[in-house]
Amino acid sequence: QQGAFHERYILSGYRSPDYSLAECLRSAFRPTNETGNFWSHFLPLFFFSYRVLEVLGWPLWTYFLGVACLLLGSSLAHLLNAMSLVVREVCFFLDYGAIAAYTVGSSLAYFYYIHPRAGLLDRDPERFYIPAACAVAVVCVLCCSLTRQRWRRHRYLIRTLVFLLPLLVSSTPVFYRLLAGSPYVAGSASWAASAPSPAFFWRHCLWLLVSAVFNVAKLPERLAPGRFDVWGHSHHWFHCCTFLSILNQLHMI
C-alpha cells in the first residue's frame, strides 16, 4: 500500500496513508509533496469565481462550471488522498471525471460562441459534435482509471495522450475557424473583438503542451531527485501550466 503513494524521483515529503480528514485539511498548511499541488489549483478557483460575475450567457456558465469542477476536483484529490488507499483511488477517479466535465464545458462554449452564430458551417453540427465530446470524455475517464491498475509503468504518458483526444474533438470548431477565416466583415466591431482569438488559442495549446511535457518527463525532479520534493516538482508545474492554459482559453472565448 505504501508504494502506491510514492512517486518516482520524489524521495520525501509524503504523508502517512492513514490520515484523518482533519489531518488532511491541516496538511494544506504544512510542507508536503502535495502542498503545491493543492494550492496551485485551489487559488485559481477564486480567480475564476470572480470572473463568473461577468458571465451573461448560459453556455459560459457551463464552461465555468467545468473549470470549477476541474480545479476543485484536482485540489481535493491532492488534499484528501492520504486517508487510505481506497480513498486515494476514489479521489483520482473523481479527478479524471472533473477533467472530463471541463472538456465538455469547453465544447459547449465553443459550440455556442465559435460556430453557429458566426455561420461557419452549413450543416447543423449539433447532431454529432456535443454527443461526440461527451462520449470521448467518458472514454478518457475509463482509460485513465484503468491506468491506476494496469500499464502503471507508462501511466503518465497514457493519461496525457488520452486527454489529447477530447482536446482535439472539442477544438474542431476553433480549427475550422482558423482555416476558414473570420466570418465577420473586416473592420467591423465583431471582427475587431474576435481578432485576438487565434493568438489566445495558440497560447492555450502551447501551455497545454508544456504541461504535458512536465507531466510525462518528470522534470525537474528527474534531474535532481529529492531536491524538488515539496515545491517545484513536475506536477506542481503541470498545475501552473494548466491554469495558464485555461486563462488563455477564457480570453479566447
**C-alpha–C-alpha distance, residues 246 and 40, integer Å:** 13
Residue 223 included in any domain: no
Quote the CA–CA distance of 155 and 147 in Å, as a whole number: 5
Residue ranges for the known binding site are 78, 235, 239
Least confident range from 149-163, 194-208, 225-239: namely 149-163
Write down the residue that cell numbers 489566445 correspond to. Answer: 200
Average of per-residue pLDDT across 16-23: 92
Domain limits for position 111: 17-192
Q: How many domains does the chain have?
A: 1
Annotated binding site for Zn(2+): 78, 235, 239
CA 77 – CA 235 distance, rounded (Å)? 13
Is position 24 within any domain? yes
Q: What is the pLDDT of residues 146-192, one digit of tens each?
A: 888 777 777 888 888 887 888 888 888 888 878 776 666 566 655 55
233 lies in some domain: no
* Alpha carbons 231 and 248: distance in angstroms, whole number: 25
Query: What's the pLDDT at 111?
Result: 84
Global pTM value: 0.87
Q: How many CB atoms lie within 10 A of CB 165?
A: 15
Cα separation, 46 vs 193, in Å, equals: 26
* 102 is a domain residue: yes
Domain presence at residue 252: no
Angle CA 138–233–203, to nearest 5:
60
Residue % of the chain over a pLDDT of 90 = 48
Q: Quick one: average pLDDT of 222-230?
A: 92
Output the CA–CA distances (angstroms, integers) from residue 201 to 149, 156, 204, 226, 241, in the order listed. 35, 25, 5, 36, 14
Query: What share of the chain in percent tops pLDDT 70?
Result: 85
Dihedral sign for Cα atoms in the order 242, 244, 248, 251: positive
Q: Is 100 inside a domain boundary?
A: yes
Is 145 part of a structural domain of the chain?
A: yes
Domain for residue 206, yes or no?
no
List, in order, residues 6 or more apart from 154 with CB less than 8 Å away: none
pLDDT mean over 73-85: 94
